[in-house]
Structures are given as C-alpha cells and as structure tokens.
C-alpha cells in the first residue's frame, strides 16, 4: 500500500517594506484527513492536533497510523468531541 501522500501548501507573503516574497509553511496533513484539525489513533486512544505537530517522531507516528487504517477524525472537529469519545491528548 505504501506511505500515504502528504500535501504541503505554501502561500506567498508580501513584505511591504522590502517588497520581497517569502513562503509560509503550512503543516502537512494526511490526504484523507486534510480537512480535519484533530486526528485520533485508535491503537492508543491518543488525539493529535495536526496544526500543532512540530516533532518528526510524532508526524511519523501519525503517518503510520493513517497507513494502517487506524486513524479516526471527529465530527464535530473539536478536542471536546475527541475527549467525549475517550481520547486523550499526547501531553496528558
């Protein structure tokens, strides 16, 4: 099956003083879950905030979870809904 595709988007940012363009890095999100902020791991009952992931090891865990089909999104897409379903954050 292979690794799931991750999409990266960059947007030009106009700096008014120098009129130079820069790129803003947007967090990678797994393709099937690109519209969701919170992603749960069914194996460990941990919920990840995809906008706050800044660790390569955590991103590798998320990628593996999606590849194995053990990822879940929540509706509504909120941390409260994840907690209602018994998921906990990585830090707790």
pLDDT of 62 reads 92
> Residue 21 falls within a domain, yes or no?
yes
- Residue range 28-80, pLDDT digits in tens: 678 888 899 999 999 999 999 998 888 889 989 999 999 999 999 999 999 99
> Residue 32 falls within a domain, yes or no?
yes
21 pLDDT above the threshold of 60: no
25 pLDDT above the threshold of 60: no
> Residue 74 falls within a domain, yes or no?
yes
- Which three-class secondary structure string do you get for the chain? CCCCCEECCEEEEECCCCCCEEEEECCCEEHHHCCCCEEEECCCCEEEECCCCCCHHHHHHHHHHHHCCCEEECCCCCHHHHHHCCCEECCC
Residue 74's domain comprises 6-89
CA–CA dist 83, 64 (Å, integer): 22
> Residue 1 falls within a domain, yes or no?
no
Q: What is the pTM of this model?
A: 0.67
> Residue 11 falls within a domain, yes or no?
yes
Domain count across the chain = 1
């Amino acid at each position: 099956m292979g690794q799931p595709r991750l999409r990266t988007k960059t947007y030009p940012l106009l700096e008014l003083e120098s009129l130079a363009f820069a790129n803003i890095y947007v967090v990678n999100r797994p393709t099937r879950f690109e519209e969701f902020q919170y992603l749960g791991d069914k194996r460990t009952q941990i919920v990840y905030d995809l906008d706050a992931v800044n660790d390569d090891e955590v991103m590798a865990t998320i990628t593996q979870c999606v590849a194995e089909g053990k990822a879940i999104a929540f509706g509504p897409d909120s941390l409260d809904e994840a907690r209602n379903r018994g998921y906990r954050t990585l830090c707790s």
